[in-house]
Structure 1
C-alpha cells in the first residue's frame, strides 16, 4: 500500500486530498500541529474507510519536523508521497509598502522553509520508494507573471516555494523523484474564503501525487495543466 504524508491535513484542501488519496488505496499520514485537530482528522478519515494515522507536525519547529520524519518510519515503514500543503497568512490586509514583518517571517518559515525542512527530513524514505513524489501546494499569488504588491507575505512565501520546487526537481531528477508545484485555484477553504468546491481544487494535487514515472517534474500546474510561473 503506498503511503502519503500530507501537511496541514486537518481541514480544507489537506483533508480532502487525504480523502481522495485514501480512495485510491493510499495509507494517509495526516501531519497536523494540534493534537486534538489531528486526532479528529484521523477519526474522520478512518470513518470514511481510509487507512489513516495522525502524525504530530509543527511546520515552524525544526525539532517537530525531525520527530515527524521518525514517526513516519515507525508508523508506516516508508513513504511514497509528500504533499506540502500547510500554509498561513493570506494577508489581504497588507501591502508591500506597509508590512508587518512578524507576519512575513512566519509565512516564510511555515510556507517556504518548512516544506524544505520536511522534504529533506523524509528524503531517505522517498529514495526507498519505487514511485516517489513531492507535491508543493502553491498559488498563482506566487507567480512572477501576476505578482503585485498585495498579500506580500503570502505571495513572497509562495514564490519561494515555487523556486524550491524547481531546485528540488533539478536536484532529484536523476533519482526518479518527481517534484511539482500545484495551484488549486481559488477554493472555498477557510483561507480562501470562497471560490470553487474544495474537491475540485484537491483533484489537481492528487493528480500530481499519482503521476506515472514518466510524468513531468519541475512544473507548475492547475487541474493537471501547466500554468505560467
Structure 2
C-alpha cells in the first residue's frame, strides 16, 4: 500500500479532536505536516498543540456549514475528513433505551458524519485522492452484531453504510472512503479496563489518512487489515 510519508500542504479536519482518539489523530496529522482543524464542541476545550481549534458540534448543521465556508475561505482546500466524534449511548436493550438518548446517539454518530459529508465532499473531490475516514466500531459489524448498546451499534452499522455509499457514489471522482475499528481503547468512552492505549487506537485511522490517490476504498479496517462488515 502506497502512503504519504509527508502531508505538508494538505488540510485535515478531525471531529471530536479535543480528547481521546480524535486528539491523537489530530496530533499525528500535525506531526506529518498537515494543516489540522481540530473540531470541538467548546472553544474552552484544549486541542493538540499546532492544530487550529474550530467550534464544531456535529449535531448542529449551522456549525458544519460554517466549517465548510471557513476552511475554504482560509485555505481553499480540504484533503482529509476524519469523522471521529461519537457517544456510546444507553446500554441494555432497545425496549428500555430512553428515546432522547437514542436520538442523541444517532444524531452524533451517524447524522453528524452525514452532514459533514454533505457539506465537505464538494471540497474533498476537488483534491486528487481526498479521504474520508469514519471511526466506526466492531460493535457495528453486521457479521457479529452482539447485544447491548443498541443505539451505538446501529449508529456504527449506519456509519459503515455511509462509507460504502461514499465509495460507490464518489469513488469514480477519486474520493477514498474507509471505516476503521480502533479496538477497545482507554478513553472516556472506552473506560479504564480497555486493553489498548490511545496511541494504538489512533494508529490505523492515521494510516488511512495517509492513503495516496487510487488506494483501497469502501473497506472496513482494523490494525491495517480489512475486516468483515
- Normalised TM-score (structure 2): 0.92
1:18-167 map, 5 Å: 18-37=26-45, 40-41=46-47, 44-46=48-50, 52-91=51-90, 93-167=91-165
Structure 2 SS opposite 1:79: coil
Contact 1:141 1:158 in 2 (8 A): yes
Deviation at 1:45, TM superposition (A): 1.6
Contact 2:139 2:156 in 1 (8 A): yes
- Normalised TM-score (structure 1): 0.92
Deviation at 1:148, TM superposition (A): 2.2
Deviation at 1:55, TM superposition (A): 1.4
Give the aligned length: 219
Contact 1:8 1:31 in 2 (8 A): yes
Q: For residues 70 and 214 of structure 1, what CA distance do their matches in structure 2 show?
A: 28
Contact 2:89 2:101 in 1 (8 A): no
Contact 1:136 1:161 in 2 (8 A): yes
Match of 2:3 in 1: none
Deviation at 1:34, TM superposition (A): 0.9
Q: For residues 2 and 30 of structure 1, what CA distance do their matches in structure 2 show?
A: 14
Deviation at 1:94, TM superposition (A): 2.3
Structure 2 SS opposite 1:204: helix
Q: 1:178 aligns with which of 176, 179, 193?
A: 176
Contact 1:90 1:191 in 2 (8 A): no
Q: Which runs of 5+ in 2 are unaligned?
A: 1-8
1:191-202 map, 5 Å: 191-193=189-191, 194-202=194-202
Q: For residues 90 and 171 of structure 1, what CA distance do their matches in structure 2 show?
A: 30
Match of 1:49 in 2: none
What's the Cα RMSD here?
A: 1.2
Q: Which runs of 5+ in 1 are unaligned?
A: 47-51
Deviation at 1:207, TM superposition (A): 1.1
Q: For residues 219 and 104 of structure 2, what CA distance do their matches in structure 1 show?
A: 26
Deviation at 1:109, TM superposition (A): 0.8
Structure with the bigger percentage of helix: 1
Q: For residues 195 and 153 of structure 1, what CA distance do their matches in structure 2 show?
A: 23
